[in-house]
Each structure stands twice: as C-alpha cells, then as structure tokens.
Amino acid sequence: MNLADIINPNNLVYEKPKLLTENTMHYCPGCSHGVVHKLLAEVILDLDIQEKTIGVSPVGCAVFAYNYIEIDWQEAAHGRAPAVATGIARCNPDKVVFTYQGDGDLASIGAAEILHACNRGENIVVIFVNNGIYGMTGGQMAPTTLIGQVTATTPNGRDAGRNGYPLKITELIAQLPGTSYVTRQSVHTPASIRKCKKAISKAFQAAIDKKGTSFVEVVSTCNMNWKLSPVKANEWMVDNMFPFYQPGDLKDSTKTDPASYTPLKN
Amino acid sequence: MGELRLMKGNEVIAEAAIRCGCDGYFGYPITPQSEIMETLMDREPWNETGMVVLQAESEIASIHMVHGAAGSGKKVMTSSSSPGISLMAEGISYIAGAELPCLIVNVQRGGPGLGTIQPSQADYFQSTKGGGHGDYRLIVLAPSSVQEMNDFVETGFKLAFKYRNPAMILTDGVIGQMMEKVVLADYIPRVTDEEIDRRHGSWVTNGRKPNRGRNIITSLEMDSLKMEHNNIRLQDKYAKMEEEDVLFEEVQCEDAEYLLVAFGSSARICQKAVDQCREKGIKVGLLRPITLFPFPKKPIAALAKRVKGMLVVEMNAGQMVEDVQLAAGCNIPVKHFGRMGGIIPSPAEVVEALEQKLIGG
C-alpha cells in the first residue's frame, strides 16, 4: 500500500470544517474558543445556512471571531452584540443572526442588552462562552468569577463582601418567556464536544423555525489566565465550575408556541 | 404639490421617515422628542410600508440596533435628546468608524447633566466636533422650520448613503414642539433586498452571496499603518463633504453692514431681529448655516470682507462662534450673544446685543 492509497477521499474520517478560514487562530493553546468556532462552522454548513447567516462578534478574546468563519460578520461594541443582532434580525427576518460573546461582554457590560434582547424574544442565537475571567485584558475578575477565585483584580480571591457574587445569568435568561432553548454545555471531552454541537445545532434550528431567542452557554477554560496547563484547566473547570454552573438544558420550549398572555381587563 | 398639513416638528420627522422609505426606527423615550416614536407607533408603518419600529431598552441599545440594521444596507434611524445622545456617543463613533449610513435626530434640551427639558443649542460642539471618541465627523443638518424637519429626513439619508457616514438632524425643543404648516413629501418605496445587493454588495452584511466574498463590518484594525490609512480615508471623505455639500442661507446680506450668524431656532429669532434693525435704519443681514458640518466657511469669509462686524446668536455659552471666528479671520469683530438653560432669546434682546457689542463698541 502506498501513500496515495491511504490519502484517498474514501478513507476520509475527519477534515477541517469547510467554513473555517485558513487564518491562523490567535487563541492561546488550550483555549476553548477554537473548538466552539469549529462547531459553529460545522453546524452552519450542516444546516446549509452559510448564505443567510450573519454573525456578531464581541469585544474580548473572540473579537476576531470574524476572521475564522466564512460568513458575513459585524463586530459590535463591548456588550452591545445583542442590540446589533436585534437590528439585523428585525430588518432582515429571513436571515439567521447569532451573537458570540464572552462572560464580561455578555454578563457585565452587556447585561442590559442581553436580558432585553432575550426578553423581547429576538429571533437570534446567542453563543455565550463563560470562562469566569476577562481573557483579553489580562485576567481580571468577571461577573462569573467564582468566590475565592484568584484573578488580576482579586489577587486574594473573589470576596463576596467586596466583589459581590458570581452571576448565573443563564438561569436568569431561562426565566424569560422570550427564550425558547437555554442550555449549558462544555467542550472539554470528545463526548461533551459532540453534545455541544447538538445543542448549537438545535439553537440554530430554533432560529430558522422563528422560535425566539436560543441561548447556548459553553462553560470554558482560560488556562492562560487561570495560570494552569490546558489539562489542569479542564480538571479545575470540572471540579470548580461545574458544581456552580451545572451543565445541561435549563429550558426547551422549541416544540411549543411562544408564551401568550390574556388581555388586560378594562 | 404634496399634502399640506399642520403638524408638530417631531411628528413630521416620523411622517417623513415613513414616506421616504425608511426601513427601521429604534429609539427610547426622552423629552422633548418622544412624539417621534409615539407618532410612528400610532401610524403602524409596519402594516403600510413594512418599516420596523422598535422601542429599545436604552439609547445605547437603540444606536447599536441602528448599527446592525445599517450594516445590512437598510435605511435606518434613531432619535433622542441631549442626555440620550451622550449615551449614544459610543455607538455613533463605532458607526462612523465602520462607515455605515444612518440618520440620528437630536432634539436638543438644556444641559449639562439632566439639565432641563427646555430648548437649547448647547450640543453644537458635541455634534460637530465629536461627542464620541476618535477623529470622526457627522454630517449635521440644522432645520429652522417644521418644513425643514420634513425635508432634511430625506436629505440626511441621501448624504448618509452618499458618504456612508452617520448624518444628524440637530434641532431643539422649539422646532420639535412647534406646530407649523408643512408640505409632506410623496411616498418613496423602500429599497428592495435585490437593490441593496446591487448598490451596496461590496460592504453589506446580509448573508454571503455566491457572487461576492463574505463581508465584515468592523471599526477595528490592529495594524497601525492600516489604521492610519483608514483615518486618512475618513478625513478625505470629510474634505469632500466640505467641497460638495455645504448648505447655508443668506437673508438680506447684499447691503448688510453688520451680520448675524445663527442656526436653527436662533436663526428664526434673528430673522425678526434683522427686520427690527432695518426699521431702525441699521443695515443687518443674516447668515444661517444649514449644514453645521460641513461648515459654511467660504460664505462667512466672503462676508467678513464686506461687513463691519458679526454677532453669533446661539442658545448656548458660545460654541459656533468659534467656527465663525476661524472663518472670518481677525479683521472684524466677531462677538457672541447667547441665552442658556432653556431660555429662548427675544428679537429685541438680539438687537440690543448687536448695538452694545458691535455698533456701540
């Protein structure tokens, strides 16, 4: 058997998703963003929506998400991606619009924008990558930083009295009648990656079916700012993040109609 | 001739938006401009033209919704009043940086801070010199009548799309709340998605097409040489505006010995002051900048060679006066008269100020 017999389309078991560009990713080795990008590229192609999908990238580590997936993109101001996505989706109801946001972007500076977009039931998909820290600016405390977690702005660990409590924004969002599918996933094992892909696919299908907002949190690592090796970071996430940010579906009403209300009495 | 109506300035903005084929309005209530969104919600244009009207959770969200929709090639707008425009400053800078067309209406009230809901022109600096961060300019149109509130909606959109730059209608509580007769524009159909692709396919983000690559809308550029190039391109655009799209009005300037310079509602007061001066035998004219950026430097420079002095009348502490002084040069006195805090000056006060600051001095 020679090399040409081995490198043969019939033997292909895995390839780089066709929608991922050739650009070298700027993410740190071990970062979860690359895996989530890959899943997005696969799902968009699987659903054959690459010509009707518009992505909105955040400010934070994923600011350059637009460099990596071969679709139209807008780059939003810090926290404002849900508003930008609202503008696109409202004026282009036949398109599929998603935001890609980190925890500082979504749960801190953009808390108002995400809550109100979800509460209006904007027909968008939200991909929320939560690693409990500000990555791009060098590891400061995020709204999702755990109590006791050491960051650049909580050098002795997050203290509830001084810094408040970690924000379970996904739990808040699941309460809103505008959301149809709210789930929390991770991408630290092959099994969790497969499960996360299914969740992202379901979220995009809900947008195609005009079911309102679908929201996929991906609990992730930031091994660089956590100051751990990629493997250790995964272990730390399982041991510390998962008990607080428990993986699983929080809400699924994709098979039912949006909430309805009785009219006011005169 | 179009339909003749008696309407409030704010209501006319809404009516003109529907009629000019606007695709979307995103806004947040604030006095004294809330009638714009109220009129739109009452008119339900989504049933008539398909125009989207959305009450956002904040001015911040409104302007970023405009960013998103404008980035898909749609003709979209927002409106607010001074404190709300301050909140929008971030988004306006991003829109200018990403080179997107849109229309922003500022029905000014007095500041600083929460200030007052009474009229003011104290946002001249904010509108013409920046407001947000970075070297950018808005196209700024200053209507002085309800009719111009109508006309400048379409003018603003035309200029915004010509330059792919945000345009602002800078008005105030006087014009916004005032009722006047107005000839409404005829309906223009909304631009179809096919036409958007044909006109703006090189930059819009409305879904990648087989005949074009993907488009990315961003104001971010980490390579400093490229970022400087982006800035130079913006500056070239602003220079082109100054060459091609300056608008102004001259009233009785032919034989004027003194010149009043005023925009918007102040210009209406000055028009009356010109009449009162001429009754007293003082030959006064009025130059009314209609575009505050690009600023009418050349007509002011030309008039500076003919008049004995200029009085700039504004409802602020003296903002446009700096641009008039720059344009006029140092050979004649250029003075300022203004009222602040929501006070509207009377024509008699303007005449008195002219006599004291220029003629008597």
pLDDT, one tens digit per residue, over B188-222 is: 999 999 999 999 999 999 999 988 889 999 999 99
A73/B90 touch (CB, cutoff 8 Å), yes or no: no
A92/B64 touch (CB, cutoff 8 Å), yes or no: no
A51/B210 touch (CB, cutoff 8 Å), yes or no: yes
Residue A215 lies in a domain: yes
| CB-closest option in A75, A92, A113 to B218 | A75
Residue A6 lies in a domain: no
Q: Is A159 on the interface with B (CB under 8 A)?
A: no
A80/B60 touch (CB, cutoff 8 Å), yes or no: yes
Q: Is A228 on the interface with B (CB under 8 A)?
A: no
Residue A166 lies in a domain: yes
B68/A95 touch (CB, cutoff 8 Å), yes or no: no
pLDDT at A88: 98
**DSSP designation for A240:** I
What single-letter amino acid sits at A146?
L
For the beta carbon of residue B309, count every other beta carbon within 10 angstroms: 18
B205/A54 touch (CB, cutoff 8 Å), yes or no: yes
Whether CATH 3.40.718.10 fits B248-359: no
Fold of the domain spanning B4-183: Rossmann fold (3.40.50)
Q: What CATH code is carried by the domain that includes residue A126?
A: 3.40.50.970
| CB-closest option in B62, B69, B214 to A70 | B214
**Closest chain B residue to the Cα of A91, Cα to Cα:** B69
- Give the torsion sign (CA, B359, B321, B9, B345): negative
Residue range(s) in chain B whose domain bears CATH number 3.40.50.920: 248-359
Question: By C-alpha distance, which of A128, A127, A124 is closest to A53?
Answer: A124
| H helix or E strand, kind and range, residue A140 | strand A140-141
- In percent, how much of chain A has pLDDT > 70? 99
ipTM over 0.90: yes
Chain B CB contacts of A71 under 8 Å are: 207-208, 214
> Closest approach of chain B CAs to the CA of A87, in angstroms?
4
pLDDT by position in tens, chain B (length 361)? 689 999 999 999 999 999 999 999 999 999 999 999 999 999 999 999 999 999 999 999 999 999 999 999 999 999 999 999 999 999 999 999 999 999 999 999 999 999 999 999 999 999 999 899 999 999 999 999 999 999 999 999 999 999 999 999 999 999 999 999 999 999 999 999 999 999 999 999 999 998 888 999 999 999 999 999 999 999 999 999 999 999 999 999 999 999 999 999 999 999 999 999 999 999 999 999 999 999 999 999 999 999 999 999 999 999 999 999 999 999 999 999 999 999 999 999 999 999 999 998 5
A142 is in which domain, residue-wise? 24-252
Residue range(s) in chain B whose domain bears CATH number 3.40.50.970: 4-183
Cα dist from B304 to A200, B246, B358, whole Å = 66, 18, 14
Chain B CB contacts of A56 under 8 Å are: 68
Write out pLDDT tens, residues B223-251.
Answer: 999 999 999 999 999 999 999 999 999 99
